[in-house]
Amino acid sequence: MAIKLLLADDHAMVRKGLQVFLATQPDIELVGEAANGRETIDKAAELRPDVILMDLNMPVLNGIETTKMLQLSQPEIKIIVLTSFSDQDHVLPAIRAGAKGYLLKEIEPDELVQAIKRVYEGKVELHSEAAGLLMKLVSSPELSTAETHMAKVSSTSAGARKERLTRKEQEVLQLIARGRSNKEIGEALFITEKTVKTHVSHLFDKLGLTDRTQAAIYAVKQGLGE
């Protein structure tokens, strides 16, 4: 079954370019387009997409506010931010709003397709610049509720938890903190992608984490993100 995708961007040329490319992808069905935040919410309710590619700078409602509202009304929809901005005023608010991916429009088409598929499968996808910025921001005293929880996890008790990770799990965690995909982690550590998934699952269980963003935050707090 193809992944149902909704495209939200106020630039017609961007929508057209993505429409032409996505039409060549057998595993992805572009079910609709929207030019502003309000239209995105209406189309999402009507079309029930699996994934939304969300621009941030849109009229009526921007991408961050739209993401927040969709997370309340249709939390099952996975949202990937696709934008030109990689600064802290955009990255962190988008992730706090509930985006499962943060990509820049300079991304290669094939990489975009793979990111859509991974987010659909429940993974988190961050452009390296966004991941790097997030790593710097987690040390800020102004932490969100989720980040405050992660800060507590990185206390003394969390340090004890880290000791329970195997050496390979710590290596995997470190690469997650660098924004690497499972495939890239496998190539770096000379193990199969299936083995990487097993290590990720085990370290999530041991640390009480639910996604890669939390894992990345934890890794930085423990000094594993360098």
Residues 172 and 126 in one domain: no
pLDDT at residue number 158: 46
Residue 117 lies in a domain: yes
Residues 105 and 180 in one domain: no
Averaged pLDDT of the chain: 83
User: Is pLDDT larger for residue 183 or for residue 35?
Assistant: 35
User: Nearest Cα to 162, choosing from 226, 210, 208?
Assistant: 208
pLDDT tens profile 129-175: 777 777 666 555 444 444 444 444 444 344 445 558 898 998 998 88
The pLDDT > 90 percentage for the chain reads 49
Average pLDDT (90-113) is: 89
Residues 22 and 103 in one domain: yes
Residue 146 lies in a domain: no
Task: List beta partners, residue 80.
Answer: 53, 101
Distance from C-alpha of 37 to C-alpha of 195, rounded to nearest angstrom: 40
Distance from C-alpha of 78 to C-alpha of 98, rounded to nearest angstrom: 9
pLDDT at residue number 211: 75
Average pLDDT (107-122) is: 91
Look up the domain containing 18 and give its range. Answer: 3-137
* Last-in-domain residue among 137, 156, 183: 137
pLDDT at residue number 204: 87
Residues 119 and 171 in one domain: no
Residues 129 and 189 in one domain: no
pLDDT at residue number 152: 45
User: Is pLDDT larger for residue 225 or for residue 26?
Assistant: 26
Phi/psi zone of residue 57: left (φ > 0), alpha (ψ -120 to 50 degrees), beta? beta
Residue carrying structure tokens 């994934």: 51
Residues 128 and 173 in one domain: no
**Band of pLDDT at residue 221, cut at 50, 70 and 90:** low
Is the pLDDT reported for residue 61 higher than 80? yes
CATH of the domain at 44: 3.40.50.2300
